[in-house]
Amino acid sequence: MLTATAVLCSALGSGAATGPTASAQPAQAPPEAIAACTQFARALDLASLTYSGFADVIALGEVYPDYSDPLVSSANSSGRTGLRAAVSTALSASRTPGLAPQLAAPMRSWALAATKLLLLMGLRADVDRFNAAAAQVNEDTENAQRACAEAGTRA
């Protein structure tokens, strides 16, 4: 039941808790791709750092989280703050001038899925709905990272 939430933490958080996920390094990649992928990587780091606390809290609880619990409430609040910034950063990356559509599209898609998580946190949804949204974020994360890799960046 809680797998997707946990996977989200894993996908976003591999190494994120201790530092940046990766930095984009030029490998004959277009400069706009490097800039966008670097910025997108920052969005992933930020999302991971801030959302994982909330994900951990609800993963340990009931199917319907107790939002009156101070721990849940606090994690919800800080998680939303971070995700909000992450979404903004990802959207900004997707709008990098000259960025190829195959890079911009998965970044925009990731931002859309992360907005859904943000919405669910605000609406105090149940774990099942978080799992579905988290699975989508994971998929979009992989798609964006694959696109960045194929463009020759390491973000």
Partner 1 sequence: MSEGRVDTVIVGGGHNGLVAAAYLAKAGRSVRVLERLGHVGGAAVSLYPFDGIDARLSRYSYLVSLLPRRIVDDLGARIRLARRRYSSYTPDPSDGGRSGLLIGPESTFGAVGAAADEAGFGEFYRQCATVTSALWPTLTEPLRTRSEAHRAVVGAGGRDAWQWMIERPLAEAITSAVGDDLVRGVMATDALIGTFARLDEESLVQNRCFLYHLIGGGTGDWDVPIGGMGAVSEAMAAAATGFGAEIVTGADVYAIDPEGQVRYRCADDEHVVAARHILANVTPAVLARLLGEAEPELAPGAQVKVNLMLTRLPRLRDESVTPEQAFGGTFHINETYRQLDAAYRQAAAGSVPDPLPCEIYCHTLADPTILSDSLRAAGAHTLTVFGLHTPHSLADSATPDRLRDALTSAVLTSLNSVLAEPIQDVIMQDSSGRLCIEAKTTSDLDDALGMTDGNIFHGALSWPFVEDDEPLATPAQRWGVATAHDRILLCGSGSRRGGAVSGIGGHNAAMAVLER
Interface contacts to partner 1, rule CB under 8 A: 67, 73, 80, 84, 87-88, 91, 95, 108-109, 111-113, 115-116, 118-120, 122-125, 129, 132-133
With helix as H, strand as E and coil as C, how does the chain read? CCHHHHHHHHHHHCCCCCCCCCCCCCCCCCHHHHHHHHHHHHHHHHHHHHHHHHHHHHHCCCCCCCCCCHHHHHHHHHHHHHHHHHHHHHHHHHCCCCCCHHHHHHHHHHHHHHHHHHHHHHHCCCHHHHHHHHHHHHHHHHHHHHHHHHCCCCC
Q: C-beta of 118: minimal distance to partner 1 in Å?
A: 6
Which tokens hold the place of 46? 């930020």
Q: Which is nearer to partner 1, 129 or 154 (CB)?
A: 129
Q: Which is nearer to partner 1, 22 or 55 (CB)?
A: 55
Q: C-beta of 55: minimal distance to partner 1 in Å?
A: 17
Q: Which is nearer to partner 1, 29 or 114 (CB)?
A: 114
Q: C-beta of 22: minimal distance to partner 1 in Å?
A: 25
Q: C-beta of 145: minimal distance to partner 1 in Å?
A: 19
Q: Which is nearer to partner 1, 43 or 113 (CB)?
A: 113
